[in-house]
Amino acid sequence: MTWSTEPDAVFARWLLLALAPAVLAAPLRWAVLAWLLMTNLDATGSGVASHAGVGWLNALKAVVLPAWLLVRLRRVPGSLHRNWASHCWLALAVCAAGSACWSPYPLAAVKLAVGMAAVLLALLGLERAALGRGLDEATLRRFLLGSLALALVQSLGFADGSFGYAGRGMPQRFTSFVAAQQFAALLTAMLCWLLWTPAMKETWRTVGVLVLFAALAANGSRTWTLGALVALGLHAVLARLRWPYLLRIVAAVAILASVPAIRRGVERRAAAEEPANRLTATASALLKGRDRADGMGLGTARFRMEMYRGVWGAMREGGLREWVLGRGVGSAAQVATAVFPRAYRPESLDVNRVVHNEWLRLSYELGLVGLGLFLAVIAGLARLAWEARSHPEGMALASYLPALLLGLTAENVLDGAGNVVTSGLLVLIACAARARAGGGGAVRT
């Protein structure tokens, strides 16, 4: 595996190593928190091909340490009811592993399968921690604050780092030591938790919500920001449209509009009419009917549509076996290099994140079998949220699901063991599972 030598990636590696002893030996509450904070650290750095080798530090974070936490939590009393989602997830991992036999990137297929198994392993550990009160509101509050602190360190201490890099001439994106889209997913998940957690004063809840929207504005993710707005709107509707909750929506939209302009004034010398980041550039392009010359507003949308057309066209040329079983994990990368030969280089191509649409990626690489199993997993999460709907934790998961579905249409998140995309989702699942088992409070109305 080729390691990134960028200063921010080196810092992430050393910080990951510094936190590892806490996961191994600290009291369980702090061990769980240390592992959650580690999901903000990508040890290999950006621009490293997923099929080129094994990132051993990331493997330590994603597989070994969650397994050790589960061992440490084995004596926590209580049990959780399982539905079909976990079995379908494991079956999907088996499909991914089996596709290594015909995939052009067999190592990527094996890594994806192991990573999916590691995601389930981490969920089991977090569920045990939730039963044992090692994943309580104090822990989640520290996780949120720690993640924001790491993002500030990355943005202020490594202003030209690779994690927040958005392209030449583009403003740096606000993120911790992970890809910006991944961090936006975490911000959205924690927003859903913050909206529904019962043991918080409304004043502090409002402050937290607005801080998270400011972070999303500085991050610039359009997909996850839209998901966060949907979650905020759902909360207002389910809270019977009380006027303070409606004012939160107005304030959140105002922050999304103003924070990029503030950042532009502080960080850049730019013309007043120049949009500050992807959010404002997209809004400007939609209102004016034309994009900027650099394509900041709608350029990535055009890129995605070209990618989708290329993958769909390749799917139509396949036979019955390809439609049923797919072409193997990572095979869509061959379509990407054919559609964008100048943009993608084999030595830096992340074959597990190239399609930017999980539904299309699964259909192409794992066929209708893989897509059906994944739909069953989503249905299982929806059922869990429904069964825990009388508890705040169940409502937090329910409000996050629309954002997750949006994210799946614009990003690839299956290859997410040990990163903040899955850790944000898994804490919501673990808390909802605890609530369904009888350990949560009542929903506030």
**pLDDT recorded at residue 271:** 46
pLDDT of residue 276: 56
Reported as a single tens digit per residue, the pLDDT across 180-207 is 899 999 999 999 999 999 878 888 999 9
| Tens digit of each residue's pLDDT (9 = 90 or more) over 309-324 | 988 888 888 888 889 9
C-beta atoms surrounding 376 within 10 Å? 17
Mean pLDDT score, 76-104: 86
pLDDT of residue 272: 46
- Of 24-38, 84-98, 118-132, 339-353, the one with minimum mean pLDDT is 339-353
| pLDDT of 83 strictly over 80 | no
Structure tokens at 143: 């996780």
Q: What pLDDT is stored for residue 290 in this prediction?
A: 67
The residues that bridge with 41 in the sheet, in sequence order, are 177
| pLDDT level of residue 262 (50, 70, 90 thresholds) | low
pLDDT above 70 (res 50): no
> pLDDT at position 76, please?
81
Once rounded to an integer, what is the mean pLDDT over residues 129-154?
93
Q: Please state, rounded to an integer, the average pLDDT across all residues of the chain.
A: 85
Both tokens of residue 232?
Answer: 């905020």
pLDDT at 445: 40
- At residue 386, does pLDDT exceed 80? yes
The long-range contacts involving 341-347, CB below 8 angstroms and separated by at least 24 positions, are 346/49, 347/49, 347/52
Query: Per-residue pLDDT tens for 288-314?
Result: 666 666 556 566 777 788 888 988 888
Which are the contacts of 83, defined by CB distance < 8 A and separation ≥ 6? 380, 383, 384
Q: Is the pLDDT of residue 162 over 70?
A: yes
pLDDT at 274 over 70: no
What is the four-CA torsion angle of 302, 304, 309, 314, rounded to 10 degrees? 150
Buried b (16+ CB within 10 A) or exposed e, 327-366: bbbbbbbbbbbebeeeebeeeebbbbbbbbbbebbbbbbb
Mean pLDDT of all residues in 30-59? 79
Angstrom distance (rounded) from CA 88 to CA 256: 38
pLDDT at 415: 76
pLDDT mean over 38-66: 78
The larger pLDDT score, comparing residue 203 to residue 47, is at 203
- The string of pLDDT tens digits covering residues 408-444 is 998 888 778 889 999 999 999 999 999 988 765 554 4
Spatial CB neighbours of 290, under 8 Å, sequence gap ≥ 6: none
pLDDT at site 47: 56
Q: Are 357 and 308 in contact (CB under 8 A)?
A: yes
Cβ neighbours of residue 73 under 8 Å, at least 6 residues apart? Answer: 28, 125, 128, 129, 132, 134
First to last CA, the chain: 52
> Can you give the residue ranges of every domain in the chain?
7-439
Specify the pLDDT at position 25. 94
Residue 170 clears pLDDT 80, i.e. is over it: no
Nearest Cα residue to 138 out of 46, 57, 33, 236? 33
For residue 269, name the pLDDT band (cuts at 50, 70, 90): very low
Structure token pair of residue 332: 């869509």
Structure confidence at residue 226 (pLDDT): 92
Q: Which of 29-43, 83-97, 255-269, 331-345 has the lowest mean pLDDT?
A: 255-269
What percentage of residues in the chain have a pLDDT greater than 90?
A: 50
Q: HEC states along the chain?
A: CCCCCCHHHHHHHHHHHHHHHHHHHCCHHHHHHHHHHHCCECCCCCCCCCCCCCCHHHHHHHHHHHHHHHHHCCCCCCCCCCCHHHHHHHHHHHHHHHHHHCCCCHHHHHHHHHHHHHHHHHHHHHHHHHHCCCCCHHHHHHHHHHHHHHHHHHHHHCCCCCCCCCCCCCCCCCCCECCHHHHHHHHHHHHHHHHHCCCCCHHHHHHHHHHHHHHHHHHCCHHHHHHHHHHHHHHHHHCCCCHHHHHHHHHHHHHHHHHHHHHHHHHCCCCCCCCCCHHHHHHHHHHHCCCCCCCCCCHHHHHHHHHHHHHHHHHHCCCHHHHHHCCCCCCHHHHHHHHCCCCCCHHHCCCCCCCCCHHHHHHHHHHHHHHHHHHHHHHHHHHHHHHCCCCHHHHHHHHHHHHHHHHHHHCCCCCCCCCHHHHHHHHHHHHHHHHHHHHCCCCCC
Rg (CA), the chain: 21
Model pLDDT, residue 152: 94
